[in-house]
Chains A and B, each alone.
Chain A
């Protein structure tokens, strides 16, 4: 099969959806910029025109509201926030408006909006240019949250997000943009709310999404050389969570480790550990463990960044600890 980079896969999803569905538009900061969003939007304004590829002033809340309004009026906007940090400005329109609209009026109007937020960290960018806020959005009742970890899923989940009748927050990661993988040329979708087993194993379940799913897989390969057989679940969607795949895996392995790139307190790991233990306590052979960011903002210095962000080696360490503690 043909290989594309993660960034090219996003570009292709956008291009194909803009081409086949006149309701689709791309709006947000930097969609015509040479660097804001990597190469994901290169050439789109030349092809589809400034009416549908709308670069905007730095007015996150206003533009998010405009995208919600356009979605209410029958469009399928893809709204980009080139850094999640700036999405705090848009929280009102995401949390109070997009998330509530369908429920609040008894199901009369839906908001078919894709909110594409990019995690862009490392490179000494510090506390306000590095944040991974998936847990903030996971908390909202009326939005779905997806986090693709491969080029295949990046294209398929972006298409699924655009096709969904509800607000979907599509979170990608600049650390993945140059990764390559098989991507079909045709339009396809990856179901929202379904995880996938990337590696089968019997000793421990590692659940992760996005960049951390890749680190989990790398950790599992290292552990494999030491006779530890880890199962890796790439969650792909963090809301709705694929409980079935998680529960089945933990019932088999008896051990759970969650790896996430956000903060630990109130994070993705907290939610997954709670859900798994609520319904599977008797299967657990050891206390579940979480790999996450410490509860501190991101530092600037690369010397500090090196130990701030978790990698495969940290997952390996935690898993060995979990195996020691077990029954």
Chain B
């Protein structure tokens, strides 16, 4: 993995995409920092699995997608929702359990949906959405659409049997699905090496005759390029790809703590990854290459701050769901 962002990986990336990816990453980072603060203040009660440190993956993959491509998310869902274009107001309101939330207060942090932007939902069951993405891809094929489906999942999903079932089926049927593993090295409290006999997740693709690549998940240009290539293949009917993105979550498994006090990982390891911050290195690259000016950078940052403040106020002021609606909408 390189800490340097090389332009060679992204020579055909439109200038606007470079800036969009930066804004997306920063939007996720700042939003999650706000949520962490609200969680520690117990303003937000719902368990939140924060995405800080992993922003380049959602931003890089979603920048390569069209609106009618679908992404399926996990318990760590905020980054995917934001990168696909979800409203921060509806997201914050959902975290507050408000009626104006993106799932009406019935889902919470782990169950976000915004079908209008291609997010049909996120599941808190590890690997749960992996087969759903394959199924959506099957539907797109039968409907003769050129849409693709993306399954985001963590390294923990690779412990699950359904993951293997799905990769086999997707490759067997050459489905237009991209399997994006966000390998943040930990499955809740357990390190990868304590879970997998072979920690090279991307190599498992070989067993399914599917391309598998391991990339620097903290390098958004590399993520974009890998995703673009996988998506192109999928659209052309060449079947699925497994992309293993190496990354790290700065906070603990859930909530605003960093879990260092629990002895689950070392401060040195965390600091090493913070030094490889996906946003800082990318920002330096954009400034150096004159893709983004300092003025633009300041403007983007200010706009995001204002957007998050609005989302926070909206969530606070929104009503809770009416208790008469506790039964919700079980059936359509």
- Whose C-beta in chain B lies nearest to the C-beta of A95? B125
Docked Cα-Cα span, A107 to B111, in Å, equals: 12
Q: A54-62, A182-190, A205-213: which one contacts chain B? A: A54-62
How many Å from the CB of A23 to the closest CB on chain B?
8
**What are the interface flags for A77-89 relative to B under an 8 Å C-beta threshold, 1 for contact and 0 otherwise?**
0000000000000
Contact (Cβ within 8 A) A96 B132: no
Of the candidates A61, A63, A72, A166, the one whose C-beta lies within 8 Å of that of B332 is: A166
Contact (Cβ within 8 A) A74 B123: no
Docked Cα-Cα span, A220 to B125, in Å, equals: 48
Of the candidates A51, A52, A65, the one whose C-beta lies within 8 Å of that of B135 is: A65
Chain B residues within 8 Å of A61, by CB: 131, 161-162, 165
Contact (Cβ within 8 A) B107 A65: no
Chain A residues within 8 Å of B70, by CB: 73
Q: A98-106, A256-264, A302-310: which one contacts chain B? A: A98-106
**What are the interface flags for B153-180 relative to A under an 8 Å C-beta threshold, 1 for contact and 0 otherwise?**
0000000011001101100110000000
Most buried by B among A54, A70, A142: A70
**What are the interface flags for B251-267 relative to A under an 8 Å C-beta threshold, 1 for contact and 0 otherwise?**
00000000000000000
Contact (Cβ within 8 A) A93 B131: yes
Contact (Cβ within 8 A) B330 A57: no
Chain A residues within 8 Å of B141, by CB: 51
Is B212 in the interface zone, CB < 8 Å from A? no
Is B115 in the interface zone, CB < 8 Å from A? yes
A92-B128 contact, Cβ under 8 Å, with A97-B123, A106-B329, A107-B329? yes
Chain B residues within 8 Å of A226, by CB: none
Is B16 in the interface zone, CB < 8 Å from A? no
A70-B128 contact, Cβ under 8 Å, with A104-B103, A106-B103, A142-B330? no
Contact (Cβ within 8 A) A104 B111: yes
- Whose C-beta in chain A lies nearest to the C-beta of B108? A104
Is A25 in the interface zone, CB < 8 Å from B? yes
- Whose C-beta in chain B lies nearest to the C-beta of A106? B104
- Whose C-beta in chain B lies nearest to the C-beta of A140? B330
Chain A residues within 8 Å of B165, by CB: 57, 59, 61-63
Contact (Cβ within 8 A) B166 A102: no
How many residues belonging to A are interface residues under a CB distance threshold of 8 Å? Answer: 41
Contact (Cβ within 8 A) B123 A96: yes
Contact (Cβ within 8 A) A65 B106: no
Of the candidates B168, B169, B331, the one whose C-beta lies within 8 Å of that of A102 is: B331
Q: Which of A12-66 contact B (CB under 8 A)?
A: 25, 51-52, 54, 56-57, 59, 61-66
A70-B136 contact, Cβ under 8 Å, with A62-B169, A105-B106? yes
Is B133 in the interface zone, CB < 8 Å from A? yes
Contact (Cβ within 8 A) B329 A72: no
Chain B residues within 8 Å of A92, by CB: 125, 128, 162
Docked Cα-Cα span, A110 to B121, in Å, equals: 11
Chain B residues within 8 Å of A296, by CB: none
How many Å from the CB of B40 to the closest CB on chain A?
27
Docked Cα-Cα span, A64 to B162, in Å, equals: 10
Is B140 in the interface zone, CB < 8 Å from A? yes
Q: Which of B138-155 contact A (CB under 8 A)?
A: 138-143, 149
Chain A residues within 8 Å of B133, by CB: 69
Is A216 in the interface zone, CB < 8 Å from B? no
Most buried by B among A52, A71, A92: A92
Contact (Cβ within 8 A) A69 B113: no
A108-B138 contact, Cβ under 8 Å, with A59-B169, A64-B131, A96-B128? no
A73-B136 contact, Cβ under 8 Å, with A59-B169, A65-B130? yes
Docked Cα-Cα span, A70 to B139, in Å, equals: 5
Contact (Cβ within 8 A) A68 B329: no
How many Å from the CB of A231 to the closest CB on chain B?
30
Contact (Cβ within 8 A) B330 A141: yes
A69-B103 contact, Cβ under 8 Å, with A61-B165, A92-B162? no
Of the candidates B103, B128, B331, the one whose C-beta lies within 8 Å of that of A65 is: B128
Chain A residues within 8 Å of B139, by CB: 69-70, 72-75
Is A109 in the interface zone, CB < 8 Å from B? yes
Chain A residues within 8 Å of B328, by CB: 103, 106-107
Chain A residues within 8 Å of B140, by CB: 73
A65-B142 contact, Cβ under 8 Å, with A56-B169, A72-B136, A104-B111? no
Chain B residues within 8 Å of A70, by CB: 135-136, 138-139, 142
Q: Which of B176-223 contact A (CB under 8 A)?
A: none
Q: Which 5 A-B pairs have the closest CB atoms?
A: A69-B135, A65-B131, A106-B104, A62-B165, A107-B329
Q: A102-B329, A107-B332 are in contact. List 14 more A-B contacts (CB 8 A).
A: A51-B142, A56-B169, A63-B165, A67-B135, A69-B72, A69-B137, A69-B139, A70-B139, A93-B131, A104-B107, A104-B111, A105-B102, A106-B104, A144-B331
Residue numbers of A with Cβ under 8 A of B are 25, 51-52, 54, 56-57, 59, 61-75, 92-93, 96-97, 101-110, 141-142, 144, 165-166
* 9 pairs from A and B in contact (CB 8 Å cutoff): A61-B162, A62-B166, A62-B169, A73-B70, A101-B121, A105-B104, A105-B106, A106-B103, A109-B121
